[in-house]
Structure 1
Amino acid sequence: MVAPALLLGFAITALIIELTPGPNMAWLALLSATEGRKAGLAATAGIAVGLLLIAAVSALGLAALIDNHPAIYETLRWAGALFLLYLAWEGWRAAGESSPASTRSGAARHAWRGFVINALNPKAAFFFVTVLPEFVSPAMPAAPQTITLALTSVTIATLIHLALVLMAGSIQAFIADEARNRLTRRILSLALVAVAIWLFISAAR
């Protein structure tokens, strides 16, 4: 349903963005290290559901518009490249991000927090509305491609979150170190700049 080259490019882009230290990563590492893997797994489930909801609302509603309005495609192509550059700039300048405070509570509450944090995250919505369409080929129906790409993004995010939970101790220590946090952000930011340029050029109709 998605051209292999586009799917690979999208997967790499989603992976780079998800690997950039942010609130989800910091929160999951802290929660798992202080309250155990069960709490971390519950939070991961909530995050995944939140991402699925925002992906469906943001991406699927846009598929028909992409098919019928070329001007919208071009607008999103520009917006997607600019958004990636913004993420690169944000990652470069930020030494670290604060994470939601966690208190000892039940698994359901952790799952709910993970859901709310992501379902109400405008940056996640903007990713699905701007970056995802960059990888939708005009030669094939948009809806099946959009579904595949959205599920790919959520799957990548969930796998990374599960890995964080399973390695909570070492990951938390790594993210807490300001110098290593900054170095990681800047390496991934440069990679995002390269992806943004490649996308803008290759996605031209």
Structure 2
Amino acid sequence: MITFQFLLTALVVVVIPGTGVIYTLALGLGQGRRAALWAAAGCTFGIVPHLAAATLGLAAVLHTSALLFSVVKWAGVAYLLYLAWQSLTAGGTLNVRADNRAQSGWVIARRGALINILNPKLSIFFLALLPPFLSGSAATATAEMALLGAVFMALTFVIFMGYGIFAAAARQWLLGSERVMTWLGRSFAAVFALLAGRLAFERA
């Protein structure tokens, strides 16, 4: 169940920067703390379908169905490339600029949720991560999976909030340099493109 080993494992997984972290940092730098918190909430909510799939055994279906895996994977690749483009385009939703207009929190959260929903490896990841920490009782396995998943989601939200708040604080120091902001926008675009490339080579 919820052991120190599980918490440590989950913490390491969440802390390592991935697509959701990059997205949250971009929103924090571009639009401030409020946007970063909505981004963190959206990325966390995007975990729910994968946790449900792992709990119900659907992840195994995704893993064995090459067609289904490919459809979700390439949708994810296209979406990450879209985010890369939005980081580069003047007026793009992820462009890191001082004059960016604040976006609706629901729009930010929905985009963050899609980042995780369109990553087919997450379901398989939960299928591999959670079972070793179960008690072994078939009667309580589903409840235990849900509890462990909820703890993982809580850690995700807290850590992502930390990243977002840090980015929002750093924003105040960086807004005065147009060159730095432009460089950051290009860096985020490059990271999203690299993550899209890595996802493209993933196999079920």
* TM-score, scaled to structure 1: 0.58
CA distance in 1, matches of 2:107, 2:137: 44
Task: Using the TM superposition, give the Cα deviation of residue 130 of structure 1 relative to its aligned residue in structure 2, in angstroms.
Answer: 1.4
SS of 2:6's partner is helix
Contact 2:46–2:112 under 8 Å retained in 1: yes
Contact 1:164–1:171 under 8 Å retained in 2: no
Q: Give the one of 119, 126, 129 matched to 2:127.
A: 129
Q: Deviations over 1:145-183 (max 9, x none)?
A: 11111101111111101111111157899xx8x9xxxxx
- Counterpart amino acid of 2:57? L
Quick one: percent identity of the two aligned structures? 26
Task: Using the TM superposition, give the Cα deviation of residue 123 of structure 1 relative to its aligned residue in structure 2, in angstroms.
Answer: 2.4
Aligned to 2:152: 153
* TM-score, scaled to structure 2: 0.58
Contact 2:23–2:112 under 8 Å retained in 1: no
CA distance in 2, matches of 1:171, 1:20: 20
Aligned to 1:37: 33
Q: Deviations over 1:46-67 (max 9, x none)?
A: 11211123212x232039xxxx
The reply on whether 1:22 has 2:18 as its aligned counterpart is yes
- Counterpart amino acid of 1:160? I
The reply on whether 1:53 has 2:49 as its aligned counterpart is yes
CA distance in 1, matches of 2:152, 2:170: 22
Q: Give the one of 135, 138, 149 matched to 2:136.
A: 138
Task: Using the TM superposition, give the Cα deviation of residue 17 of structure 1 relative to its aligned residue in structure 2, in angstroms.
Answer: 1.0
SS of 2:47's partner is helix
Task: Using the TM superposition, give the Cα deviation of residue 106 of structure 1 relative to its aligned residue in structure 2, in angstroms.
Answer: 2.6
Aligned to 1:168: 167
SS of 2:152's partner is helix
Q: Deviations over 1:3-49 (max 9, x none)?
A: x5xx3212111110111122211221121011111111111111121
Aligned to 2:178: none
RMSD value, Cα:
3.0
Q: Deviations over 1:93-138 (max 9, x none)?
A: xxxxx97531453322211110111112122212111111121121
Q: Give the one of 7, 11, 26 matched to 2:7.
A: 11
Aligned pairs, number: 138
Contact 1:28–1:164 under 8 Å retained in 2: yes
CA distance in 1, matches of 2:5, 2:14: 14
CA distance in 1, matches of 2:21, 2:144: 28
